[in-house]
């Protein structure tokens, strides 16, 4: 992968001038390359990783990994079914995977019941769905290469003998 992309992937806030200094290139050349990547769709979005464990509040979302077994469609394989599934607003990510299941979804909802309803009412009834397995995320330790620090108090009772 291009060095500019590697730097931006680690920290999207790195200024073109800083990238130019790191790579010993002219800032204008770096800016042009970044604009080219954005125009070509190589760079799709700049993202902030937020440690939601620290800012838990009433609006915290529940995330689930859902493995989906599907029947591929003639002449289009998995693509058409995947497109229909990833169009749902609850689906934040959708991957074609190898192994026992065909698709892996990351689904978000305001609570367990919202995610469960999505599976029961929208996902499972789809024509090409053969089965699903759901895993609710309980705690995140690392996301997008960033280790998440947790703000927790030790609530264990001290025991002495």
Residue spans per domain, the chain: 3-40, 62-139
Rg (CA), the chain: 21
Output the pLDDT for position 116: 96
Output the pLDDT for position 145: 83
Output the pLDDT for position 148: 84
Indicate the class that CATH gives domain 62-139.
alpha beta
The arithmetic mean of pLDDT across residues 117-126, rounded, is: 97
The arithmetic mean of pLDDT across residues 80-103, rounded, is: 97
Angle at alpha carbon of residue 159, lines to 154 and 161, rounded to 5°: 160
Output the pLDDT for position 144: 82
Identify the bridge partners of residue 107 per DSSP, sorted by sequence position: 64, 91
| 79 closest CA partner among 44, 132, 128, 118 | 128
């Amino acid at each position: 992968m291009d060095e500019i992309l590697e730097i931006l992937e680690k920290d999207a806030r790195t200024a073109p001038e800083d990238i130019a200094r790191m790579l010993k290139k002219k800032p204008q050349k770096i800016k042009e390359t970044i604009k080219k990547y954005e125009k070509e769709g190589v760079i799709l979005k700049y993202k902030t990783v937020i440690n939601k464990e620290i800012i838990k509040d009433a609006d915290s979302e529940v995330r689930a990994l859902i493995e989906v077994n599907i029947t591929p469609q003639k002449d289009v394989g998995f693509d058409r079914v995947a497109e229909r599934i990833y169009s749902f607003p609850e689906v934040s990510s959708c991957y074609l995977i190898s192994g026992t299941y065909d698709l892996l979804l990351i689904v978000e909802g305001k609570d367990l019941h919202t995610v469960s309803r999505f599976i029961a009412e929208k996902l499972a009834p789809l024509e090409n769905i053969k089965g699903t397995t759901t895993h609710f995320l309980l705690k995140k330790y690392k996301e997008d290469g960033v280790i998440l620090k947790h703000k927790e108090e030790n609530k264990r009772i001290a025991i002495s003998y």
